[in-house]
């Protein structure tokens, strides 16, 4: 695996730890306070990251199984409303993000050079597996 690919995957791998470090010791009420009306608080952002990682899991696997596949987008505000992100337990959100990210990194680490050429067309843009 090329050095730049290894670095990109390492960045992906350590993201949950860095995120946990950034919020460690912060008061729960501060993490649940939106920075402005209509904006998400930290807990909502992390819940979104977890669910977005779930979406990425599906998309990666779809591109590998069906190169050129159409990848549907999603309405993140609708997901936040229906998923009640503001009610999530912060530890649960972080743990879900960590577990899903680990699964995705494990998948990506096992790809062949040929696999890296797989792609999909997102509703808004053409997508490829994470840039490495």
> Which has more pLDDT, 124 or 99?
99
Per the structure, the complete domain to which residue 64 belongs is given by: 3-128
pLDDT score of 5: 87
**Cα distance between the two ends of the chain:** 10
How far is the C-alpha of 86 from the C-alpha of 41, rounded, in Å? 8
How many structural domains is the chain composed of? 1
How far is the C-alpha of 95 from the C-alpha of 93, rounded, in Å? 5
Domain with residue 96: its CATH number is 1.20.120.450
11-59 pLDDT, tens digit each: 999 999 999 999 999 999 999 999 999 999 999 999 999 999 999 999 9
Query: Considering the entire predicted model, what is its pTM?
Result: 0.88
């Amino acid at each position: 695996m090329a050095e730049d690919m290894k670095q990109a995957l390492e960045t992906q791998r350590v993201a949950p730890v860095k995120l946990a470090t950034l919020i460690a010791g912060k008061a729960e009420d501060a993490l649940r306070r939106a920075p402005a009306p209509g904006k998400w608080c930290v807990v909502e952002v992390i819940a979104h990251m977890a669910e977005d990682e779930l979406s990425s899991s599906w998309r990666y696997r779809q591109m590998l199984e069906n190169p050129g596949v159409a990848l549907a987008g999603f309405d993140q505000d609708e997901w936040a409303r229906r998923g009640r992100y503001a009610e999530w337990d912060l530890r649960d959100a972080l743990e879900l993000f960590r577990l899903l990210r680990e699964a995705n990194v494990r998948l990506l680490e096992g790809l062949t050079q040929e696999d890296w050429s797989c792609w999909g067309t997102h509703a808004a843009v053409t997508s490829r597996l994470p840039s490495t």
